[in-house]
Structure 1
């Protein structure tokens, strides 16, 4: 078996960039695309929120990722399927039934992406020691979010440029999605060459669950699991709604309560300063946890992912379209997300400790996805009911449940700290 931590600085960035790209295409870029193709906010919020479902129910098939073949083989196959699904979206957009066909392709991409997540995260936990898992969580989160910014930033900039060039939104987005498919295929090929073969046949046997249903019973019987799951469900309550309506807020006209920005302008904001602050926040979060342990930084990290939501509310209430104010809001949001999500992901790794790590981590992230999906269902309706100003105030209040539950969480204070391993 290949020694743990080998070439981690090489394969972690590529693997998690490839994990993040299909997620942002399904969850976020689909929102922008449908908005530009004339779909209503209510339909966007409803139908694209359903696309979270594969990430919610992925624990139902996650044991098979342990039982059949290797995690490396799984994520390479799933990444190839995502490439084909994105190509299908690009080719079907010019048709009269584009909404149905593209949703079907997004569903295919979502299931493949969710399975890719299971395999990639399992590979991460097999390939690294526990203290390195904590150290690299900021790196993996950064590259995961960089993929989000690539989708929400660079690809959206491309779509905006093509909208202006062709004067045809459908053609512009068709070409953009085909480009996304080519990018995804390139990343898949890269992962084939850079990921070490950690999983010998002996290692696979050690990681296999003892039984399919035992995976679930051992997870839910862990001490304090009820409080832990409540925290996971509510941690991103505000963000789960903001992420659905942030793009429509930027794109809607001032008369409709939005900022009236163009597609290219939205992409440029997220793809420039957003990338820089996201990178700083993600790396800083992982380094601080590795230095001091999770306990010291959990509260600041919960606050950092929620406080920037208040600045969106301020933009909506004051109706300012000033570029400095808008960019500053995005800067705070991206840094706060990068910094805050590091603590959350280390906590999920802690929840998964013990036998069947891969499947237990899939269960934990499945509940995380449920916490994103359910509020997302109603986000469009709430926005249309309250307007953007009332909606973002509602989003700010979404931070309160997680802050309340945080005081009841039980985990080792120095979990994730360098030299303080808790591996089972």
Structure 2
């Protein structure tokens, strides 16, 4: 029998920080980078949204992560591959064909990162009891988002500083991406030393699926799966569009409806007080679910991830560039995201319960990624059509489908509550 919850306070923060960093670099920082290198909003929205695809189709190869080798071996190798891909981005940026070559490197990083997610999440679920999964979901979400803030905050601040230092955006971003690659190498090495080797247990072997196609049939035949997947697809419908256009909104001039902020200012806003509020929101969400169960907090968590979108609409409609108003908006967004995503991730763990939980969780998060990718694909075109004010109003309306579906979801009221289940 495996020793569940072993050294969880050490490996969960490091593992999920490592999971979050490549995602934010591929999906979000790439947007800022291409914007500063002169790529149009429409092209940014289209091409960077396609980078979501590996997270959408990762269930196609997730059974192999379940069946072949250990999840620890998988995530260590994938993390190394991400580091190599990011190094490629940094080295290709100064070339004349940088857009094609860096997109290719981002694709490589995206596939490796998506596979790393499958292995890391599987490792998390088999290594913790159910109540600890709920308790730590806030911690893992916080460190995942802290990685996002490191990428979107500290690394963007570095890029902005280097833009001013070199007077050359291309060189600045080249150095920044090389630095990101070195950070990823360091995180991979850290995970090698801090993650326990517990997957040789007979209990773990019994949880592996018998065959490739069994994974899919058992997932889609679960009761209520149609409504569950509809909720997963629409939960982040508004956010999936906002996350693509928030950076261009900050960086575009006021004449274009933006805020006219510099690269460094964008990095600073996301990398300071926003980090604190994100941490509070994520940890609080996990603690409350562990204390009261998922049912009590699901509606407040859905609202918390969507209400801050209205403040972006306010900034755009009123042309407000006041730093207090802008920073307050980001603070609310970060707290709301941390608090809200905790409930969503616990719900994904619930629908993945049973045999083949690693692959089933990959399927659930694949649908989540699809819900992020499809709206993101057209976000740039919608923004250019409606302007920033109309776009953010549309984003606010995007919360309605998830709220309507929420009342039809079926799950135990005390799911995730301490003492309600052990998952042994």
Which range, TM-score by smaller chain? over 0.9
> How far apart are residue 7 of structure 1 and its match?
0.6
- Output one character per residue of 1:169-222: Cα deviation in whole Å (capped at 9) or x when no partner: 000000000000000000000000000012015244212111111100000000
Partners of 1:96 and 1:40 lie apart in 2 by 17
Aligned to 1:70: 70
Q: How does 1:178-217 map to 2 (within 5 A)?
A: 178-200=178-200, 202-217=202-217
Q: Distance in 1 between matches of 2:173 and 2:85?
A: 15
Q: How does 1:358-397 map to 2 (within 5 A)?
A: 358-397=358-397
Q: Which residue of 1 aligns with 2:274?
A: 274
| 8 Å contact kept, 1:354–1:423 | no
State the superposition RMSD in angstroms. 0.8
* 1:190-339 to 2 correspondences below 5 Å: 190-200=190-200, 202-339=202-339
Which residue is equivalent to 1:405? 405
List structure 1 runs of 4+ shifted beyond 3 angstroms: none
Match of 1:343 in 2: 343
Equivalence for 1:119 = 119
CA distance in 1, matches of 2:201, 2:401: 44
Distance in 2 (alpha carbons) for counterparts of 1:20 and 1:58 = 16
Asked if 1:61 corresponds to 2:41, the answer is no
Partners of 1:2 and 1:196 within 8 A in 2: no
How far apart are the structure 1 equivalents of 2:343 and 2:159? 34
Equivalent residues of 1:294, 1:346 under 8 A apart: yes
Q: Tell which deviates more after alignment, 204-213 or 316-325.
A: 204-213
Structure-to-structure mapping, 1:3-42, within 5 angstroms: 3-42=3-42
Q: Which runs of 5+ in 2 are unaligned?
A: none
- Residue by residue over 1:85-104, the C-alpha shift from the partner in whole angstroms, topping out at 9 and shown as x without a partner, is 00000000000000000000
Counterpart-to-counterpart distance in 1, 2:339 and 2:204:
33
Structure-2 residue corresponding to 1:51: 51
Give deviations 1:208-238, integer Å, cap 9, x for gaps.
1111111000000000000000000000000
Q: Equivalent residues in 2 for 1:54-203 (5 A)?
A: 54-200=54-200, 202-203=202-203
CA contact (8 A) 1:297 1:343 kept: yes
Aligned residues: 424
For the residue of structure 2 that corresponds to 1:275, the secondary structure is helix
Q: Is contact 2:2–2:201 with CA below 8 Å preserved after alignment?
A: no
CA distance in 1, matches of 2:202, 2:290: 30
Greater mean alpha carbon deviation, residues 274-283 or residues 192-201: 192-201
Instruction: Provide the rounded CA distance (Å) in 2 between the counterparts of 1:339 and 1:409.
Output: 20
CA distances 1:127-180 after superposition (whole Å, capped 9, x unpaired):
100110000000000000000000000000000000000000000000000000
User: What TM-score does the superposition give when structure 2 sets the normalisation length?
Assistant: 0.99
In structure 1, list runs of 5 or more residues that go unmatched. none
